[in-house]
Structure formats: structure tokens, C-alpha cells
């Protein structure tokens, strides 16, 4: 995260607005650069794609035909502009594998993935903050040590291992949950929640540990600041110190931790979806990578990156807004 | 350093890593069968002949685990060393030279880090040919962005210390300054960072292999073995969990050691008592 | 009337965690007793590690970090507060006993307005209504001389200066009308001219409100201005305890005598000989594209003598050192060494030019590479400049160690195994090893305790005599100038406002800034503060 105070000039009336606008512009520039990177990757691909796709035995005519069909005969710059223009309108071109429009497939899958990640976030964020606070409150005592050790173990487990453990015990042995986690249109919310229960548990397990450890670190650094000692020496109660003196200053670091881990959640979704055969973006992308369906890979890559960039931007902007030095300039 | 000062957790971690390393190095001597030999039926349960049972093709699971340790450890280690070398070299270069070089490297690094690592890897692996060299390279380059940040920050921290300035004013060359003044003071934080990156590389490699994009069959690595045997889960066969548990155990061991190294670093810096 | 506060046989310990060793119990304070009557001020004085802050916090039943009060009593109006439960202790804090920290800038919460923090405890204890508390805070801001008292509290901590924050913290402590306030080095972090104002404000506020106070500092001259009684502490034990007048004018113990005299020595200046070893000629310099930090600075340093550069923080004195060493090439002007101009950038100076100007830093902690032994630290310039190796090098390092009054036993120690004073001595030996003509001293004693600092100054003076080296001595402490320098240059906002032989420069008639600076240096006698303030109010005197 770039330093927020570094850019403040004296006598600047609206450092807050200026920094927020600057952060927004940075994200747009970043997204633009990422799109070039993702698109440019295809150009750097060794060998001609049509040949790879049709196999070595393909006739030159068939190759030329396919190239024209996929638009590969156009200059790269033209194709990039077309692609970007389409992407901005939500049109990601045609899948090479299914020959159908990518957007059609992505629309439903994106909302499936966001649902999965959203439910996981709704559970893990409050839980992580709660555990972080408990851990700091009982710092270096039994609850803290247990949470610490458990979370160290949890961050060491691969997502797919957690997933299969859950499946084996809850779906197969105990028959409490469904596997695979198939969802389809027209499913009621409760039904949907029941289906995603296991994948959500897996995601929460993985993200929670990271989020809680970082929340704890952020809280500890605020709690050891001199103004908290001042509050103690003013005879304030522990609760008032935490709520009134620590919390306002902990908002920025904790929001940052949450955004960082939500971004992590976006990635965790990929593996969990594959494990639970859940029809989301992650599974779609992995399948596309395996068969080298480039329009799909590009579309998924861009969307994942955009979400990630957006979350990080949000965290930075909240941190800027939460900074009293910027809200109340000299 | 006193051996007694090493806490129990770190001992467990060190022992675990050593055990896996021994398996990896002496795999042909330890393993009862080779990793590709079909020696029994599909998914046979554990028995005296097959201590961990057999896998989805009837190969001995234990033997594949032992050979798999070799692939997992070697690839993860190679990727970590490469990423570390690259990240530290560029990070120190950026910190020491400053100016335009620093700006270009840092902004480029920010760009790389603005895409989630796994997504970036998926895009890259969709484009590039499937082989071991490419895999290690992709893992290393993506991970080096984290090392670059740490390396640059640590070097900047030390480079502004008065003793570095004193060496510059003495007329020392850049090599002396980097290797004699800066490096010895950054070893401790960098060592724990190396452990952290190694743990991440093991998880990352396993994830890629599990998704079918890492180590290609018939070679065995732990992540790939989970993929091979995952269909057994539906029938209640836990063959996929054995390599999964092995990955988890190895990463826990590495993290235990890292935890100890981090504590040690912070206690060396430690706050001094105030009168 | 009974005493307000009685401390009886106080004992305080802590768990120390040396790296790589099992934790052990250490004693910080032992057998400390004192009494404090209502409205009186007790000064606690000592060097770092003397336990003065620890004792101060104990009167609020607080131990910082792993510090625990292991024995004794702290009686407030006859009640032992150490035996109270947490709830009862909290009822005392912020109401009957208040605390003022050294760094108010860190001690105020950045997220809340000053007024809300100042009246917070008063409201929580239900001592006053919100309106009454606000009115009292405004009244206290006024007493403490804060600008625009009615609206001052509406600002956030980052919007006011360090000196003002320190006064606001005093207002916060005074607001609930407490019986006792603990001041923990409230002026140490401030510049000398700001220090005087804050000290005067605190003294005035204490007198007006009639509260009792414990005033903690390492500066005997400061405590002499405010305290009725003084307790001198060393290594957690009482050295001497008595009325302020007796401690200052007739100290009974050697240690106290040393403290009193450490700040009173003066030295006659050397005669001015013509040969200048270093000349600074019209130097202006700045960082980046910003305004110049130095503006047309010209100075000369006669051979074998000491030129002191004096100024407050932000005066440009450290920037001047960076120009001389070549770390910051000047925008205009030259630096001449023995009459010949030096290349502006250190990178363009040859090895011999670099060798002849050495530097001693303020913080010996960061100036010595923690991964090198004393032998390597001092040996490197010997090898680098003179090509010494093996036994010859060791012999010379040993010789240098003896010169700085440390033995060969220190050869293989790391900096972490040395005390603050020893580290600074090793830094001096490293400079000396290069056999320089000039040693640039950048506040080398300001981070050290007074007696240790005095030892370093004595060592530097002896080395000047023995080796004929010249010093450029940067400091903010006029006491050091009087004790150590031959000539002096006073800097203010990047310019030299006064320069010359010490005797002439520090005698009237003064320019406005020098007069103010000199007037602000606390003198080791009672009543100095009142005299200075009276003179200020009545400038015709």
C-alpha cells in the first residue's frame, strides 16, 4: 500500500479528495496494464495457436480458415482494441472450445462464484475479527496460544486437502451434506445454502486463519501504542480503551487485512470449486486452461484481476478516509 | 547459539523436514517398489504387502509417496531458490541504485502483484508449453515479486544506517558495502522469509499439480497424487488424503521453523528496558 | 497535616529476556521511600536506568511491559494503592492522580479532538458536567498560555506543535483537579527555547491550581527550577534526598556533586592562530527541488582547535555536516581543506581526502555495524587506509583501545555487549584509526547520560591535545560549547546568525536570536526561571 501521508502537501485544502482520486486513477491504470499483460501473453505464445489447436496434421487451408474464423489474421493492436471494447460492454468473444459466446457462460458462473465467496466472507470476516480480539485480549495466555497454534496449522493445509476431508466425513461417512455441490438456476436460497455448506466451510477454514492472524498483529500494534497507555493511566476500563481508543485507529489496518484476504478468497474459490465440482468461474477457468481455450482464460483472468484490484483499492480508500490527518488537514 | 534455546516446536519442524529430505534423497533405497510399477489391484486397502494400500492404477502408494517427496521437495526448493535469487538481486539493486532503476523495477513489481498469483499462473501455463522447466520458472518469477518487496525494504532499512554511511565515507566500494555491511544484517529476516516462501512453494506446486497444471504424469508428486486418487473419495477410499496429509505435515513443519526464526529475529531487535 | 503521598520501601522488578538465554528476574528499584505534602513538587533525577520513570508510574500503580511492583507501599492519603483492586485503581487514575508523558505527540490519540481527550476522564468519573469540564479546560488552556484557548481544543493532535501538545497534556492532567500529577520528562523532547516556555507554563499551572507533583527528568538544572525537594537516583537506589537548595548548593554525595559540576565547567579558549584547516565558503544547499536548508554559510576552523556549531532542530547544522562530508553536494559555495577546494561529492574525493575528515555520529548504536567485533570495526580503516594486516593491525587496534581508555579485553566483543559510552568510545577509536586532520562530531554526547557524556568530552579534549586533531562540534547544548569549544557559530533557519571566538560570541551585545537562545538555557541555580521570565516581561531591565 503506498504511503498516504507522503503525498500530502502543506496548504493543500483537500488532500483527502485528491488522494482518493489519485488512488482511483491508479486502479484504472493498473487494470489497463493488466489487460495488456493478459492479452499480450497470447502474442508471446510459442508457435501458432491455430496449428496447435488443430494438430500437426491439419492442412494449411484448414489452419488459414480457423485463423480467419478466430480473427487471428488481424493485427494484434486491432484485436486488442476489439477485445477491450467488447470486454467493457461485457462481451468476451467466442469460446474456442464450445464455439459459444463466453459471456453467456461467465454470467451465471460469476454469480455462482460471488455467492460462494460472499457467504464465506459473511461468515469469516466477523469470526476473524472476533477471534483476533479474543486472542489479543488474552494475549500470551491459553486462548491466544490455542488460537495461534490452530491457525498456524490451518494456514499450512492445502485447500484441496481440507475440501476432501470435509467431503469424506460430512458427505460420505456421515451423509450430512451433498457432494458434488451442484447448483442450477431456479434453486431456492435455502436449498442453495445447503448445497454450498461444505465448500463454504472449506473456504472459511482456509481464509479465517490468515485473516485472524493478521487482525491479531494489527490489533497488537495499535494496543502497544503510547496513547493506549495514556488511556490506561486515565483509568479507563479495558472495554472503553478498546472501543474508543484502539478501534478508530485499528480500522484502517484491519480493513486492509480483510481486503487482502477477500482477494485471497477469490483465489481460494478456484481450488474449492474444482474440488466440489461447483459450477463457478474458477472451475471454468481451470477447464479452459487445460484445453487452452484462450478467450475464456483471458476473460476469467481479467475478471479475477479486476475484482482483486477493486478490493485492494477499496481497502486503500477506506484507509485514506479513516486517517484523521487527511480528514482534518492543518 | 545454544541448542537448548531452540523450542520444542522448532525441533518438531526440523525433524519433520529432515525425515522428508531423507526420503527424497534415498528414495530408491527406502521404497519397496518403484513409483511406476503396477503391483496390485486398484485401490487395495493397506496390508502387509502395501503398507498404505495401492492407488487408482494399482501402484504401491507408499512407494509413490517416497518418490513423490523427491519431486515435491526438489521442484519447490528449486523454485524457491530461483525466486529468492531473483527477488533479492533485483530488490537490493533497486534499493542500492535508487532513482529510475528503482522506480521501473518497483512499478513493474506492483503490476505483477496486482494479479492474484494463482490466476497469473493459470494464464501463464495456458500459454506456455507444459514442461518442468517452465513450471519452475513460472513459480519462481511469480513468487519473486514478494521477495523483491521484502529484499528492497530490508536493504533500504539497513542502507540508511549510519554504519553504512560511515563505510561509504571511508571510500568503500559497493561490493564491500553490500556483502560486508548490509547482507550480514539482513540474514536473519531473509532466512525466515526463505522459509515462508518455501512453504508457499510447496503449497503452490501441490495446488497446480492438483489442478492438472503442475507435474505431469506418470511422474509422482504429492499434489498430483491427490488428483489421481480423488475419485476414490466418493467410494469412501481415503488414498487421496495420504498425500494431502503429507503436504500439510511438511508445510506445518516448515512453518514451525519459520515461526521460531521470526521470533528470534524480533527478540534480537527487541525493545530495550526503560528506566 | 498528614502527607498526601508516602512511598515506603518501594521495590520493583522485571523479567528480562536476554536473547538465547532463559528469562531471569532483575531488580529495577530497591528500597525507595519518600513523602510528598499537598501542593509540593518532588524532583526525581537520575540517568537512564536509574528507575525514575518506573517509580513515577508506580505512584499510579502501573508497571510498563513486564515490570512488576514486588514490595513496599504507595500510600495516597493513607490508603495503599498497591493493595487496591483494578476497579479502585482506575477510579484514582485520571481523577486523583494524573500523568504527563514525555512524548505528548505519541500519547494523544490521533483519532480524537484534543478537548474530548482532555475532559474524557473528568466526565467519566462524574466530577463535572460536560459544560463545566469544557469551561475548565478552556481556562487551563489559557493558564498554560495556549493560543486561542476557546477553540484550541477543537483541533486534532496533528494540527498543533509539539510544545503546544505538551501543554495540552498538562491541561488534560490538571482538568479533574487532581491531588497529584506525575510529569515524566515533559520537556526533554523539546527544543531549548520551547522548553523554557513549557517549563514556565507547567510551573505556573502547578502554582495556580495548588496540585502536588512528581517531576521526573535527567536534567538537574531543569528540576532545580520547579522542585521543592529533589531525590537523586542511581541504579534504582536513592543516592541523596533533600530540599532542592541543599542538593544544588551543598550536595552531600560525590555522585550528586559530579552531576552538579558536570554542567558548570568552562574552559578558556585557545589563541587564534591563522592557519585554517577547514573553510566553508558561501555554501547554500537543499534537498531535492525544495528550498535551501543552508543559505550562504561561511565558517573557518583553525588547526588544532574546536569550532562548535550551535542551533535548534531544523537550524541546518546537520545539513552542514552532510555538505562537509560530501554526502550532500552544495548548490553553491565551496569547502576548502588546507586551502584547497574539496570535490563537492564524496564519491569524487580520493581515499586520502576521505581519510583526513572523519565523522562521529550522535547514535553510536547505529554507527557501529552490529555484526562486526571491535577488532574488525577499528581494524578496517587501518587495513583500508594503511594496509596494516595480522599482528601489526592487532597491535595498533590494541594501542587505540588503550588510547580511548578501554583494554584489549574488548577486542572480540560485539557492539551489543558494550555500554552506550563504550560504543561511542569505539566510534572515536575508529575515527582516530584513520589519523584524520578533522573529526566532525555530530552531537556525540546528546544521547548519553551527563556523567558518561562528560567522560567522552574529557577523552576528546585529551585526544585534541595529544594528536593535534581539529574538531567541528555540532551541538544544541551551550554548556558543552562553554566547556569544550574555542570558537562558535550559532545557526538559525539555515543561516549563521553569529560567529566568532567563544568569548566574544557569547558576550553582549547580542542579536535577538542569540539573546533568546542564551536566556533559555537553564542554569543550575534556584530562581533562575523566575528571573528569566521577569526579564522577558520587562525587557528594559
Segment B181-235, tens digit of pLDDT: 888 888 877 888 899 899 999 999 999 999 988 888 888 889 999 988 888 888 8
Rounded Cα distance between A16 and A8, Å, is 9
Lowest mean pLDDT among B71-75, B231-235, C199-203: B231-235
Question: Which among B39-53, B72-86, C78-92, C408-422 has the top mean pLDDT?
Answer: B72-86
* Complex ipTM > 0.90: no
pLDDT of residue B272: 28
Q: End-to-end alpha-carbon separation of chain C, Å?
A: 42
Same domain (yes/no): C149, C290: no
C16–B5: do the CB atoms touch at under 8 Å? no
Closest A-chain CA to C65: A224
Segment C150-176, tens digit of pLDDT: 999 999 998 888 889 999 999 999 999
Instruction: State the burial class of residue A318 (Cβ atoms within 10 Å of its Cβ: 0-12, 13-18, 19+).
Output: middle
In a domain, B36, yes or no: yes
In a domain, C539, yes or no: no
Asked if pLDDT for residue B2 goes beyond 70, the answer is: no
- Choose among C92, C103, C172: nearest Cβ to A226: C103
Rounded Cα distance between A171 and C83, Å, is 58
Rounded Cα distance between A13 and A16, Å, is 9
A235–C91: do the CB atoms touch at under 8 Å? yes
pLDDT of residue A48: 57
Rounded Cα distance between C154 and A77, Å, is 57
Nearest CA among B223, B159, B221, B204 for reference residue B185: B159
Segment A123-141, tens digit of pLDDT: 999 999 899 888 887 877 8
Which residues of chain A make contact with C121, given a CB cutoff of 8 A? 234-236
pLDDT of residue C22: 64
C346–B166: do the CB atoms touch at under 8 Å? no
In a domain, A182, yes or no: yes
pLDDT of residue B183: 83
Same domain (yes/no): C317, C210: no
pLDDT of residue A37: 86
Pairing of strands C495-501, C487-492: antiparallel
Biggest CA-to-CA distance, chain A: 85
Q: Which of C58, C60, C109, C115 to mutate to test the interface with A (most CBs of A within 10 A)?
A: C109
pLDDT of residue B273: 28
Pairing of strands C5-16, C292-302: unpaired
Looking at residue A94, the DSSP 8-state letter turns out to be: B
Tallying the residues shown for chain C, one arrives at 541
β-pair partners for A94: A101
For the residues of chain B, what is the DSSP string, one character each? --GGGS-HHHHHHHHHHHHHHHHHHTHHHH-SS-SS-B-S-TTPPP-SSSTT-B-TTSBBHHHHHHHHHHHHHHHHHHHHHHHHHHHHHHHHHHHHH-HHHHHHHHHHHHHHHTS-HHHHHHHHHHHS--SHHHHHHHHHHHHHHHHHHHHHHHHHHHHTSHHHHHHHHHT--HHHIIIIIIHHHHHHHHHHHHHHHHHHHHHHHHHHHHTTSSSPTTS--HHHHHHHHGGGGGGT-GGGHHHHHHHHHHHHHHHHHHHHHHHHHHHHH-PPP--
Same domain (yes/no): C316, C452: yes
| Percentage of chain B exceeding pLDDT 90 | 29
Cell of C344: 563537492
- What average pLDDT does this structure show over C25-47? 90
Residue A105 CB contacts under 8 Å (≥ 6 apart), including other chains:
A95, A98, A284, A296
Lowest mean pLDDT among C4-8, C17-21, C207-211, C366-370: C17-21
Closest C-chain CA to A10: C159
Cβ(B76)–Cβ(B198) below 8 Å: yes
Rounded Cα distance between C107 and A231, Å, is 9
Which residues of chain B make contact with C50, given a CB cutoff of 8 A? 275
Asked if pLDDT for residue C300 goes beyond 50, the answer is: yes
Looking at residue A172, the DSSP 8-state letter turns out to be: I
Cell of B138: 513460472
* Counted domains in chain B: 1
Instruction: State the burial class of residue B194 (Cβ atoms within 10 Å of its Cβ: 0-12, 13-18, 19+).
Output: buried
Instruction: State the burial class of residue A86 (Cβ atoms within 10 Å of its Cβ: 0-12, 13-18, 19+).
Output: middle
Range(s) of the domain holding residue A172: 115-293
Helix (H) or strand (E) holding C15: strand C5-16
Question: Which among B147-161, B214-228, C234-248, C268-282 has the top mean pLDDT?
Answer: C234-248
In a domain, C267, yes or no: no
Cell of C2: 498528614
Phi and psi angles of residue C412, each rounded to the nearest 5 degrees, phi first: -105, 25
> Hey, which bits of C37-113 come out as E strands?
41-45, 67-76, 79-80, 97-100
Please, which pLDDT band fits residue C541 given cuts at 50, 70 and 90? very low
Q: Considering chain C, what is the average pLDDT of its residues?
A: 88
Which residues of chain B make contact with C359, given a CB cutoff of 8 A? 166, 169
Please, which pLDDT band fits residue C135 given cuts at 50, 70 and 90? very high
Nearest CA among C332, C371, C356 for reference residue C472: C356
Cell of C255: 555522585
Rounded Cα distance between C409 and C405, Å, is 12
- What average pLDDT does this structure show over A85-112? 84
Asked if pLDDT for residue B275 goes beyond 50, the answer is: no
| Percentage of chain B exceeding pLDDT 70 | 94
- What average pLDDT does this structure show over C287-314? 86
B170–C381: do the CB atoms touch at under 8 Å? yes
Cell of C82: 498497591
Q: Considering chain A, what is the average pLDDT of its residues?
A: 82
- What average pLDDT does this structure show over B94-123? 86
Rounded Cα distance between C240 and C233, Å, is 7
pTM: predicted TM-score of the whole model, two decimal places: 0.81
pLDDT of residue A47: 54
Integer-rounded Cα Rg, in Å, for chain C is 26
Please, which pLDDT band fits residue A7 given cuts at 50, 70 and 90? very low
Q: Please check whether residue A34 touches B, CB under 8 A.
A: yes
Segment C88-118, tens digit of pLDDT: 999 999 899 999 998 888 899 998 999 999 9
Integer-rounded Cα Rg, in Å, for chain A is 24
In a domain, A49, yes or no: no
pLDDT of residue B190: 85
Rounded Cα distance between C185 and C223, Å, is 10
B233–A34: do the CB atoms touch at under 8 Å? no
Range(s) of the domain holding residue C212: 3-15+25-261
In a domain, B2, yes or no: no
Please, which pLDDT band fits residue B269 given cuts at 50, 70 and 90? very low
CATH number, residue C298: 3.40.50.300
Rounded Cα distance between B78 and B101, Å, is 27
Chain C: touching chains (3 or more CB pairs < 8 Å):
A, B
Q: Please check whether residue A294 touches B, CB under 8 A.
A: yes
Please, which pLDDT band fits residue A100 given cuts at 50, 70 and 90? confident
In a domain, C518, yes or no: no
Strand, helix or coil at A185?
A: coil
SS3 content of chain C, % helix, strand, coil (to 5): 40, 25, 35
- Choose among A234, A237, A324: nearest Cβ to C111: A324
CATH number, residue B140: 1.10.3720.10
Cell of C455: 567522560
Task: Identify the contact set of chain B against chain A, taking CB-CB distances under 8 A.
Answer: 110-111, 114-120, 122-129, 199, 203, 206-207, 210-213, 223, 226, 230, 233-234, 236, 238, 240-241, 244-245, 247-248, 251-252, 254-256, 259
Cβ(B275)–Cβ(C50) below 8 Å: yes
What number of C-beta contacts closer than 8 Å exist between A and C? 73
Asked if pLDDT for residue C531 goes beyond 90, the answer is: no
β-pair partners for A311: none
Looking at residue C49, the DSSP 8-state letter turns out to be: T
In a domain, A121, yes or no: yes
Strand, helix or coil at C178?
A: coil
Please, which pLDDT band fits residue C214 given cuts at 50, 70 and 90? very high
Nearest CA among B264, B222, B248 for reference residue B55: B222
Rounded Cα distance between B195 and B187, Å, is 12
* Counted domains in chain A: 1
* Counted domains in chain C: 2
Looking at residue C447, the DSSP 8-state letter turns out to be: T
Tell me how close the Cα of C62 comes to any Cα of chain A, in angstroms.
8
B5–C21: do the CB atoms touch at under 8 Å? yes
Q: Which residues of C438-464 are buried (b: 16+ CB within 10 A; e: fewer)?
A: bbbbbbbbebbbbebbbbbbebbeebb
Asked if pLDDT for residue C538 goes beyond 90, the answer is: no
Q: Which residue has the higher pLDDT, A173 or C487?
A: C487
What angle in degrees, to the nearest 10, is found between the helix axes of A142-156 and B241-269?
130
pLDDT of residue C239: 93
Please, which pLDDT band fits residue B266 given cuts at 50, 70 and 90? low
Lowest mean pLDDT among C267-276, C397-406, C412-421: C267-276
Please, which pLDDT band fits residue A99 given cuts at 50, 70 and 90? confident
Phi-psi category of residue C288: left, alpha or beta, with phi > 0 → left and psi -120 to 50 → alpha: left
Q: Which of C61, C90, C133 to mutate to test the interface with A (most CBs of A within 10 A)?
A: C90
A230–C111: do the CB atoms touch at under 8 Å? no
Rounded Cα distance between B224 and B208, Å, is 8
In a domain, A24, yes or no: no
- What average pLDDT does this structure show over C522-534? 83
Cβ(A227)–Cβ(A196) below 8 Å: no
Tallying the residues shown for chain B, one arrives at 275
Residue B92 CB contacts under 8 Å (≥ 6 apart), including other chains:
B151, B152, B155, B178, B182
Q: Which of C19, C23, C368 to mutate to test the interface with B (most CBs of B within 10 A)?
A: C19
Rounded Cα distance between C521 and A313, Å, is 51
Same domain (yes/no): C94, C214: yes
In a domain, C525, yes or no: no
Strand, helix or coil at C268?
A: coil
Segment A50-70, tens digit of pLDDT: 666 666 666 777 777 777 766
In a domain, A289, yes or no: yes
Looking at residue C359, the DSSP 8-state letter turns out to be: E
- What average pLDDT does this structure show over A147-160? 87
pLDDT of residue B21: 93
CA C141 to chain centre: 26
Tell me how close the Cα of C74 comes to any Cα of chain A, in angstroms.
16
Lowest mean pLDDT among A87-101, A151-165, B255-269: B255-269
Range(s) of the domain holding residue B254: 9-274
Nearest CA among A322, A212, A315, A215 for reference residue A1: A315
Closest C-chain CA to B275: C49
Q: Please check whether residue C428 touches B, CB under 8 A.
A: no
Which residues of chain A make contact with B118, given a CB cutoff of 8 A? 267, 270-271
| Percentage of chain C exceeding pLDDT 90 | 45
Same domain (yes/no): C236, C317: no
CATH number, residue A153: 1.10.3720.10
Residue B11 CB contacts under 8 Å (≥ 6 apart), including other chains:
none
Rounded Cα distance between B94 and B88, Å, is 10
What number of C-beta contacts closer than 8 Å exist between A and B? 137
β-pair partners for C392: none
Which residues of chain B make contact with C355, given a CB cutoff of 8 A? 171
Which residues of chain C make contact with B274, given a CB cutoff of 8 A? 48, 53, 64
Looking at residue A73, the DSSP 8-state letter turns out to be: T
Strand, helix or coil at C237?
A: strand
pLDDT of residue A45: 61
Chain A: touching chains (3 or more CB pairs < 8 Å):
B, C
pLDDT of residue C273: 66
Amino acid at each position: 500500500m503506498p504511503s498516504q501521508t507522503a503525498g500530502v502537501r502543506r496548504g493543500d485544502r483537500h488532500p483527502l479528495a485528491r488522494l482518493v482520486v489519485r488512488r482511483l486513477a491508479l486502479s484504472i491504470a493498473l487494470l489497463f496494464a493488466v489487460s495488456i499483460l493478459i492479452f499480450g501473453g497470447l502474442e508471446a505464445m510459442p508457435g501458432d495457436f491455430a496449428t496447435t489447436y488443430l494438430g500437426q496434421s491439419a492442412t494449411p487451408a484448414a489452419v488459414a480458415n480457423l485463423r480467419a474464423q478466430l480473427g487471428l489474421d488481424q493485427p494484434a493492436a486491432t484485436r486488442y482494441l476489439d477485445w477491450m471494447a467488447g470486454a467493457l460492454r461485457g462481451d468476451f468473444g467466442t469460446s474456442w472450445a464450445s464455439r459459444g459466446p463466453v459471456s453467456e457462460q461467465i454470467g451465471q458462473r460469476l454469480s455462482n462464484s460471488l455467492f460462494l465467496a460472499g457467504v464465506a466472507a459473511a461468515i469469516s470476516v466477523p469470526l476473524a475479527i472476533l477471534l483476533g480480539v479474543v486472542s489479543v485480549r488474552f494475549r500470551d495466555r491459553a486462548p491466544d496460544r490455542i488460537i495461534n497454534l490452530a491457525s498456524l496449522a490451518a494456514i499450512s493445509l492445502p485447500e484441496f486437502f481440507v475440501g476432501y476431508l470435509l467431503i469424506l466425513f460430512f458427505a460420505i461417512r456421515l451423509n450430512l451434506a451433498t457432494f458434488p455441490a451442484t447448483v442450477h438456476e431456479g434453486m431456492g436460497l435455502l436449498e442453495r445454502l445447503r448445497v454450498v455448506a461444505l465448500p463454504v466451510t472449506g473456504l472459511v477454514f482456509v481464509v479465517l486463519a490468515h485473516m485472524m492472524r493478521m487482525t491479531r498483529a494489527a490489533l497488537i500494534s495499535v494496543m502497544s501504542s503510547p496513547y493506549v497507555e495514556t488511556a490506561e493511566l486515565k483509568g479507563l476500563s479495558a472495554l472503553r480503551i478498546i472501543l474508543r481508543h484502539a478501534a478508530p485507529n485499528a480500522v484502517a489496518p484491519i480493513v486492509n487485512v480483510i481486503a487482502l484476504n477477500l482477494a485471497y478468497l477469490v483465489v481460494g474459490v478456484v481450488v474449492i470449486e474444482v474440488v466440489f465440482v461447483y459450477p463457478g468461474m474458477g472451475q471454468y477457468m481451470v477447464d479452459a486452461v487445460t484445453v487452452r481455450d484462450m478467450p475464456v482464460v483471458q476473460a476469467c483472468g481479467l475478471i479475477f484481476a479486476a475484482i482483486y484490484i477493486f478490493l485492494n483499492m477499496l481497502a486503500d480508500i477506506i484507509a485514506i478516509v479513516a486517517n484523521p490527518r487527511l480528514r482534518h488537514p492543518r | 547459539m545454544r541448542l537448548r534455546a531452540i523450542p520444542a516446536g522448532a525441533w518438531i519442524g526440523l525433524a519433520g523436514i529432515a525425515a522428508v529430505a531423507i526420503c527424497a534423497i534415498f528414495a530408491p533405497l527406502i521404497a519397496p517398489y518403484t513409483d511406476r510399477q503396477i503391483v496390485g489391484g486398484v485401490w487395495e486397502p493397506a496390508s502387509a504387502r502395501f503398507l498404505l494400500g495401492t492407488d487408482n492404477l494399482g501402484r504401491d502408494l507408499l512407494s509413490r509417496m517416497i518418490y513423490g517427496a523427491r519431486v515435491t521437495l526438489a521442484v519447490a526448493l528449486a523454485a524457491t531458490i530461483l525466486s529468492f535469487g531473483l527477488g533479492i538481486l533485483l530488490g537490493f539493486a533497486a534499493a542500492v541504485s535508487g532513482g529510475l532503476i528503482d522506480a521501473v523495477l518497483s512499478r513493474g513489481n506492483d503490476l505483477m502483484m496486482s494479479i492474484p498469483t494463482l490466476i497469473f499462473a493459470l494464464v501463464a501455463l495456458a500459454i506456455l508449453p507444459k514442461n518442468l522447466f517452465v513450471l519452475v520458472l513460472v513459480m519462481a518469477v511469480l513468487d519473486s515479486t514478494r521477495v523483491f518487496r521484502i529484499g528492497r525494504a530490508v536493504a533500504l532499512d539497513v542502507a540508511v544506517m549510519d554504519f553504512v554511511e560511515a563505510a561509504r565515507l571511508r571510500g568503500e566500494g559497493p561490493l564491500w558495502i553490500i556483502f560486508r555491511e548490509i547482507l550480514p544484517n539482513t540474514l536473519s529476516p531473509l532466512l525466515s522469509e526463505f522459509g515462508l516462501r518455501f512453504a508457499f512453494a510447496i503449497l503452490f506446486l501441490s495446488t497446480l499439480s492438483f489442478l492438472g497444471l503442475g507435474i505431469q504424469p506418470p511422474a509422482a508428486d504429492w499434489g498430483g497424487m491427490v488428483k489421481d486418487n480423488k475419485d476414490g473419495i466418493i467410494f469412501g477410499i481415503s488414498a487421496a488424503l495420504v498425500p494431502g496429509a503429507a503436504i500439510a505435515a511438511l508445510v506445518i513443519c516448515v512453518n514451525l521453523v519459520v515461526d521460531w526464526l521470526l521470533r528470534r529475529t524480533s527478540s534480537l531487535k527487541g525493545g530495550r528496558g526503560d528506566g | 497535616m498528614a502527607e498526601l503521598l508516602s512511598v515506603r520501601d518501594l521495590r520493583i522488578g522485571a523479567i528480562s529476556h536476554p536473547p538465547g538465554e532463559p528469562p531471569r528476574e532483575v531488580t529495577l528499584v530497591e528500597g525507595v521511600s519518600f513523602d510528598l505534602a499537598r501542593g509540593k513538587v518532588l524532583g526525581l533525577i537520575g540517568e537512564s536506568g536509574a528507575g525514575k520513570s518506573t517509580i513515577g508510574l508506580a505512584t499510579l500503580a502501573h508497571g510498563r511491559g513486564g515490570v512488576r511492583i514486588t514490595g513496599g507501599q504507595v500510600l495516597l492519603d493513607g490508603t495503599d494503592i498497591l493493595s487496591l483492586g483494578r476497579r479502585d485503581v482506575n477510579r484514582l487514575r485520571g481523577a486523583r492522580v494524573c500523568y504527563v508523558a514525555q512524548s505528548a505527540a505519541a500519547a494523544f490519540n490521533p483519532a480524537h479532538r484534543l478537548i474530548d481527550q482532555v475532559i474524557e476522564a473528568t466526565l467519566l468519573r462524574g466530577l463535572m458536567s460536560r459544560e463545566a469540564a469544557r469551561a475548565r479546560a478552556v481556562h487551563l488552556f489559557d493558564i498554560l498560555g495556549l493560543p486561542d484557548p476557546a477553540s484550541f481544543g477543537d483541533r486534532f493532535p496533528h494540527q498543533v506543535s509539539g510544545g503546544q501538545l505538551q501543554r495540552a497534556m498538562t491541561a488534560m492532567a490538571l482538568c479533574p483537579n487532581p491531588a497529584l500529577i506525575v510529569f515524566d520528562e515533559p520537556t526533554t523532547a523539546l527544543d531549548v527555547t520551547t522548553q523554557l516556555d513549557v517549563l514556565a507554563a507547567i510551573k505556573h499551572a502547578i502554582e495556580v491550581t495548588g496540585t502536588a507533583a512528581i517531576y521526573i527528568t535527567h536534567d538537574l538544572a531543569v528540576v532545580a527550577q520547579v522542585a521543592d525537594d529533589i531525590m537523586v537516583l542511581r541504579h534504582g537506589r536513592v543516592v541523596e534526598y533533600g530540599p532542592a537548595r541543599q542538593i544544588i548548593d551543598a550536595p552531600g554525595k560525590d555522585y550528586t556533586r559530579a552531576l552538579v559540576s558536570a554542567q558548570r565547567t568552562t574552559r578558556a579558549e585557545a589563541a587564534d592562530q591563522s592557519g585554517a584547516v577547514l573553510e566553508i565558503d558561501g555554501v547554500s544547499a537543499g534537498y531535492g527541488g525544495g528550498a535551501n536548508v543552508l543559505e550562504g554559510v561561511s565558517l573557518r576552523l583553525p588547526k588544532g582547535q574546536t569550532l562548535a556549531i550551535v542551533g535548534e532542530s531544523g537550524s541546518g547544522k546537520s545539513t552542514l555536516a552532510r555538505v562537509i562530508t560530501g554526502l550532500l553536494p552544495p548548490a553553491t559555495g565551496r569547502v576548502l581543506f588546507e586551502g584547497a577546494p574539496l570535490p563537492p561529492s564524496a564519491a569524487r574525493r580520493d581515499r586520502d581526502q576521505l581519510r583526513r575528515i572523519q565523522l562521529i555520529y550522535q547514535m553510536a548504536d547505529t554507527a557501529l555495524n552490529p555484526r562486526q567485533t571491535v577488532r574488525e570495526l577499528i581494524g578496517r580503516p587501518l587495513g583500508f587506509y594503511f594496509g596494516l594486516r595480522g599482528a601489526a593491525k592487532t597491535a595498533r587496534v590494541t594501542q587505540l583501545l588503550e588510547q580511548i581508555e578501554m583494554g584489549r579485553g574488548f577486542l572480540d566483543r560485539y557492539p551489543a555487549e558494550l555500554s552506550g559510552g563504550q560504543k561511542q568510545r569505539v566510534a572515536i577509536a575508529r575515527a582516530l584509526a584513520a589519523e584524520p586532520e578533522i573529526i566532525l562530531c555530530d552531537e556525540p554526547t546528546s544521547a548519553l547520560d551527563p556523567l558518561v557524556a562528560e567522560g567522552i568530552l574529557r577523552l576528546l579534549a585529551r585526544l585534541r591535545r595529544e594528536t593535534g586533531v581539529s574538531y567541528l562540534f555540532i551541538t544544541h547544548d551551550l554548556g558543552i560549547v562553554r566547556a569544550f569549544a574555542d570558537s562558535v557559530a550559532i545557526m538559525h533557519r539555515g543561516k549563521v546568525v553569529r560567529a566568532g571566538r567563544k568569548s566574544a560570541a557569547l558576550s553582549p551585545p547580542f542579536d535577538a536570536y542569540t539573546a533568546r537562545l542564551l536566556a533559555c538555557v537553564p542554569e543550575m541555580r534556584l530562581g533562575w526561571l523566575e528571573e528569566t521570565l521577569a526579564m522577558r516581561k520587562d525587557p528594559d531591565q
